[in-house]
Copies of this chain bind each other. A is one copy, B any other.
Amino acid sequence: MQTLNVNLGDRSYPIYIGQRLLEQSTLLSEAIKGNTVLIVSDSNVAPLYLQQVEETLAAENRRIDSLVLPAGEKNKNLTTLNLVFDALLEKRHARDTTLVALGGGVIGDMTGYAAASYQRGVSFIQIPTTILSQVDSSVGGKTGVNHALGKNMIGAFHQPVAVLADTDTLNTLPQREIAAGLAEVIKYGLLGDIEFLEWLENNIVDLVDLQPAALAYGIERSCQNKARIVAEDEREGGKRALLNLGHTFGHAIETAQSYSGLLHGEAVSVGMVMAADMSHRLGWLSSADVQRTRSVLAAAGLPTAVPDGISAAQFAELMGHDKKVLAGKLRLVLLRQLGDAVISADFDPAALEATLQAFATA
């Protein structure tokens, strides 16, 4: 097991990465202060791991409640969030309770936001069960839900007290989810770690096959990259926005499909290709660099083209609703070179327009 500490002063917390972590009661118990726990999971993950986590958490003088939410990004909204509040209040959880998020990014984001909001803030532990959530949503304290007009528009910064990334839980993931998670892993190489990108180009097949050693390395290095950036910029004033590489384009795709088409990671994959393409049009990347970006994503089984039915105008409209808009100006994460992302608001709009035209499918 590896342990990575995210350094955020009095909100610092450990990320444990390895196999069989769900069975280790010490890791969980160390992070729990009160004598009540609410485990929040979803209808996909609960049948696989909920009983195990309940057993691991069982202790004298501790009451374990569980809540199983309907799975899927489309349920990441205020209505579903309110089910968590219902459960907490019906079962009389007090301010010293601990929420445990058992599932992927949707469960992590909603449970984290419920923890941030319940009685204005209680503790929570993340047990991410997807690659995506292990490398991404479990690090950084971003929590929230979607609004019909935009993704993650409602939320809070709220740090977990501990994260358990058990790589064994990845064995039950559908292939498509594995690939979607690898999109975020590849993102860390592209945005700031060229050495890691090269390692990924050489080891992508082992990751797709869930080889434990490759997985542990890939997840740890991704978390290190993210933890470093988050520690420098906890509330996203500047550098943290680099983590949004591919996300502004990707969110537009997800919103156009009402969050029921491409998976988040798949949309980010396409978004990163679009960011690379636009960076090429700005004269920053070579066409070989764009091809490398496309290739490593494709080798992970990820889409690199926009799904049918999205016009350039629709892209522009939806990107206007993205959080990366500052004072009405669109800020994009682009690539100066592979492994070196920058945030730019004063790019040539013709490059954006050309990319949107080139990728539009309607």
Contacts and interface: CB of A to CB of B under 8 A. Distances in A.
B327 A153 contact: no
A78 B153 CA distance: 15
Q: Quick one: copies of this chain in the complex?
A: 2
Contact of A85 (B120, B153, B156): B153
Contacts of A150: 89
A318 B54 CA distance: 29
A269 to B, nearest CB: 24
B86 A119 contact: no
Contact of A155 (B117, B142, B155, B321): B117
A154 B85 contact: yes
Interface in A23-51: 34-35
A149 interface: yes
A147 B118 CA distance: 10
Contact of A120 (B89, B90, B95, B156): B156
A153 B119 CA distance: 5
Given A96-B326, A149-B89, A320-B92, A117 B82 contact: no
A244 to B, nearest CB: 13
Most buried by B among A78, A95, A117, A323: A117
Interface of A: 34-35, 78, 81-82, 85-86, 89-90, 92, 94-96, 116-121, 142, 144, 147, 149-150, 153-157, 235-236, 320-321, 323, 325-328
